[in-house]
Structure 1
Amino acid sequence: MVRVITQETYDEIVKENMEEFEMSPEEAIKEAIAQFEAQGVDLSNIIKDLTLESGDKHLVSLTVNKLKELCKRNKNDDKDILEQLDALRVECKKDIAHRVRAGKDGAYSILIDLLDEKLRSYIQKENKKDEDLIIKIFKTLASLMDSQPDLLEQKGVDLIKSTLEKVQNENILIEALKWASVCCVKHEMNRQRIYAKNIGENLKILLKRKGSAKLLSESLQVIRKMTLDDDVRVEFGKAHEHARELGIQLLEILTNLLKENTKPPEVSELMLTIASLLVRNELCALVAEHSGGLLFTVLADNYDNVGVIQQACKLITALAGNDDVKRQLVKSGIVPIIVSLLTRYSSNPTASTLTLKCVAALTLREPGHSKEFLENGAPEAIIECLKIHQDVASVQKNGCWAIRNMVARCREYNTKFHELDIQSILDRSYDKFGKEFGFDVKSALRDLECEVKLDEQWTGKGVQMQQ
């Protein structure tokens, strides 16, 4: 079990080392860290340097206190408040320990109250002088809550909603969206609370707005954050429900935006966002209906851009979840393009992983598709990727899936893979990654009719059944 201590305990030990053992600050810190680590204490949330000022206070604590006093004493003194916001943001960016300290000192409540007041004034009067201050508050909140989204409460959720609903200023909207994204990472309840405010409608309006590329990018990031399932504290999240409902609301708009933005960086983010929402058959069909030959245009325009190609492969894989759409893609001529991409970017492990996954998705339960891939040189391209990336688990695993799906219903294609010495390649993969995905390797070997030892997963105990 991990042990934890307070910041005060750590500071006391460092001071004790300096005063009683006459150590230098550097020696005292080094000794304290070694002492606590030997006891199994987690120091990740502890400020380890000894930049104590004004008695026993760390600089981050002093900054929070100054900001608090300024807000109480003279709320119109925006210049001093701006200075303290900058100072607090610098402290928060140092590490998680500084952010935790600021949170414990009440920085979140101070910032939220200040933001509430300034937003009300801005919305009612559209007071331009508050614009810079509101932007700085949002930036500071995002820095403070990076990796500690637990600070968000209902008032913060309400401020996100009111900003997206009532503010037109592009710069303020961008910072509000950035803060919303930070709040959603690894925090299921935050996502649910923000989503419950019908943020999908606000995002829909922002996507329709002909604004800057930055505003589009931040809107897309919030959409993707809403579909995450990364909070280990929650057994069942609502990532699927969020993706489905956002897909119904936004996919047509996103597909139209993709038609207008076929060049990076917008094209990559749009494809990634669309792929994250394709969790249902009807949503895949909706995108296919509105996109036409759009994917071919994107691939042709960005053939030399590996980043765009990677996102395109993700989108094709997601669309292939619908069998009818998958058949349309193959019928329209996607197979030779995929094989060409697999060959061209065989030296890139990420591109190889995603393209192999694409091959696996397009050939799943489709013997006719497997034949097309075989005729277009897919076996050679797959084997080349497996040889180049012998130590990359994702390439080896997706390669096994691609091979298995190609031959599972077409055993006549096994000969081609055997000619390329597939057994030795997969045997080597099993030796290295057997514990991680040995079943996938053995499944590919089995369907290739290679020699493979299958483990008996369950055996009876030989107990006679009673009549």
Structure 2
Amino acid sequence: MAARMISQETFDAAVKENMEEFEMDSAEALKESVEQFESQGVNLRCIVKAVPVVSFDDEQEEPKHEVLKMLDSLRTGIDSASLKEVTVDIKLFTVQCSLGFAQRYLAAQKDAYPVILSYCKKSVEEQEAVLTALTALAGLTDGQPDLMDAEGQQFLLNALQKYKADSSVMRAVICTVRHCCLKHEKNRQSLIKAGVLPLLIGAITQHGGCAELVKMASSALRVMTFDDDIRVAFGNSHEHAKIIVLEHNGLKVLVDAAKAHAANTSLLSELCATLARLAVRNEFCQEICDLGGLKLIMTLLADSYEKPELVRQVLIAIQAVAGNDDVKDAVVDAGGVQLIVIAMNRHMNNSSVCEQGCACLSVLALRKPDNCKVIMENGGALAAVQAMKIHKDAVNVQKQACMVMRNLVGRMNELSKPILEMGAEALIAEALKTHEDCCDVGKAALRDLGCQVELRELWTGKHGSLTN
């Protein structure tokens, strides 16, 4: 059942009633209102959980939340005030937006977007003013991509072109582009059709020395390859990845950026994530390897295996590029199996690392008997078994570990015995009972391991035909 929603006005009225009718202080009234609505199944994500206050300048004014006070001030000065006069108010509005989604949502409900966009357009000729206005626009659109319209998209594209030499303005524009494309397929397609990709890639090339800008532009490119908008049946994620690679030389630009910032692990993690999203074709995987991207990824894993989130991201990248059979061998030859197992053992209590580690081992083992030997010799199967023991409630860990077992023995039956001696059969059977999603892969693993398993025949083709 979908959670119920209420308006900000309804929530504020409940707080006011608690204060006036039941003589509660503001903190107690607020706490009581939150508990009351949550007990009724109301989703308060979009609600500012604060008591509206009266301005010191006008005690006759209706109590308002701070974000709306800032918005009113901006709306009042939009036609008369100079840009310098409203700079402080815009910055205060941005601060309010940074406090949480509820503040941004409330501002948007009161038509903040056209006000902020007007200031953006009004200040476009002044670097400092446009940076302030763009930062506010980026803050407002965070989590609210539906706010962006055609006028706003065109402004962003113009700003990317006009200020392409200014890294600070570029960061603000790119941040806004990213916010407007996340979970919004229509915005992605519109901006790509209008030419945003060469501008993003050009920003990485032109400002290669600015790690923060490179990181932000890489993240924006990655969002262009997402298929995360539940409102559309089919997205263009694969097509967008192809355009980035084939038409704009995206792989080389990103690998070169990684080489230029070899000591910046935060940036390298982001670049790995984007490369993984672009490795959608066999030849793209090979190109990443040929450009030196695989070597960078393996070095990063070796040097940073103590950092679980970075390890997880690197493992995703390895899994993606290893979709190419030749790259599989390159990973194994570079000592990738040993590094993956070391990372899994180091972070065995982290389900995400275990999931991605198993996924990597599964891909490396697929159709590669020689790789299977290396995985067994270096404790890969044992690490997968251990992950199943520790993360029994993590369905994705169970599924990926089952895939490891299946791929290891798929072309090497002799590996079944040592894997079964590790206790794999009981663990897989338990996963089948606990997780419905493990049914297919778990039964396939048991079958290939030579265990007794019930395989239900769904349709035999008997008892009638498809035509009358």
Give the AA of the match of 1:65.
D
Q: Which of 99, 102, 105 is 1:100 aligned to? A: 105
What is the aligned partner in structure 1 of residue 48 from structure 2? 47
Distance 1:52 1:407, change over 3 A: same
Seen in structure 2, the aligned counterparts of structure 1 residues 353 and 4 have a Cα distance that, compared at 3 Å, is closer
Report 1:216-231 matches (<5 A). Answer: 216-231=214-229
CA contact (8 A) 1:429 1:441 kept: yes
Q: Which amino acid aligns with 2:46?
A: N
| Cα distance per residue 1:259-290 (max 9 Å; x no partner) | 33333123222222111111111211211222
Question: CA 1:87–1:420 in 2, change beyond 3 Å: closer, same or farther?
Answer: same
Give me the TM-score of the superposition, normalised by structure 1.
0.87
Distance in 1, matches of 2:44 and 2:301, equals 48
Q: How does 1:236-385 map to 2 (within 5 A)?
A: 236-248=234-246, 249=248, 250-263=250-263, 264-291=265-292, 293-331=295-333, 333-385=335-387
Q: Aligned runs of 1:31-430 on 2, under 5 Å?
A: 41-53=42-54, 54-55=61-62, 57-76=64-83, 78=84, 80-119=85-124, 121-122=125-126, 130-131=127-128, 133-167=129-163, 168-209=165-206, 210-248=208-246, 249=248, 250-263=250-263, 264-291=265-292, 293-331=295-333, 333-430=335-432
Judged with a 3 Å threshold, the aligned counterparts in structure 2 of structure 1 residues 141 and 372 are, in CA distance, closer, same or farther, namely: same
1:58 deviates by 3.5
1:295-326: CA deviation from partner (whole Å, max 9, x where unpaired):
44444444555444333322221111122332
CA–CA distance in 1 between the matches of 2:200 and 2:281?
A: 21
Task: Give the letter for the 1:278 counterpart.
Answer: A
CA distance in 2, matches of 1:341, 1:26: 47
After superposition, give the CA deviation of every residue in 1:131-189 in whole Å (9 maximum; x if it has no partner). Answer: 1x322222222222222221111121112212221212211111221222221222221
Cα 1:260/1:4, change in 2 over 3 Å: closer
8 Å contact 2:302–2:339 — kept in the other structure?
Answer: no
Structure 2 residue identity aligned to 1:117: K
| Structure 2 counterpart of 1:126 | none
- Cα-Cα RMSD: 2.9
TM-score by length of structure 2 reads 0.87
- Contact 2:369-2:412 within 8 A present in 1 as well: yes
Pair 369,195 (structure 1): closer, same or farther in 2 beyond 3 Å: same
User: Is the partner of 1:230 in helix, strand or coil?
Assistant: coil
Q: 1:459 to 1:75 in 2, by over 3 A?
A: farther
Q: Which moved more, 1:43-52 or 1:397-406?
A: 43-52
Change (3 A) 1:464 1:187: closer
Quick one: distance in 2 between partners of 1:364 and 1:180?
39
* CA distance in 2: counterparts of 1:38 and 1:96, whole angstroms: 22
Distance in 2, matches of 1:65 and 1:358, equals 53
Deviation at 1:19, TM superposition (A): 5.3
User: By how many angstroms is 1:399 displaced?
Assistant: 0.9
CA contact (8 A) 1:64 1:106 kept: no
User: How has the CA–CA distance of structure 1 residues 113 and 383 changed in structure 2, closer, same or farther, with 3 Å as cutoff?
Assistant: same
Stretches of structure 1 that go unaligned for 5 or more consecutive residues are 123-129
| Gapped regions of structure 2 (runs ≥ 5) | 55-60
Q: Cα distance, 1:113 vs. partner?
A: 1.1
The structural deviation recorded for 1:344 is: 4.2
Aligned length: 455
Deviations 1:217-250 (A, max 9, x none): 1111111111122111121111111112112221
Q: Check the 8 A contact 2:285/2:323 in 1, yes or no.
A: yes
Please give the alpha-carbon distance, in whole angstroms, between the structure 1 residues aligned to 2:98 and 2:357.
37
Q: Conserved in 1, the CA contact under 8 Å of 2:306 and 2:346?
A: no
Question: What amino acid is aligned across from residue 209 of structure 2 in structure 1?
Answer: G
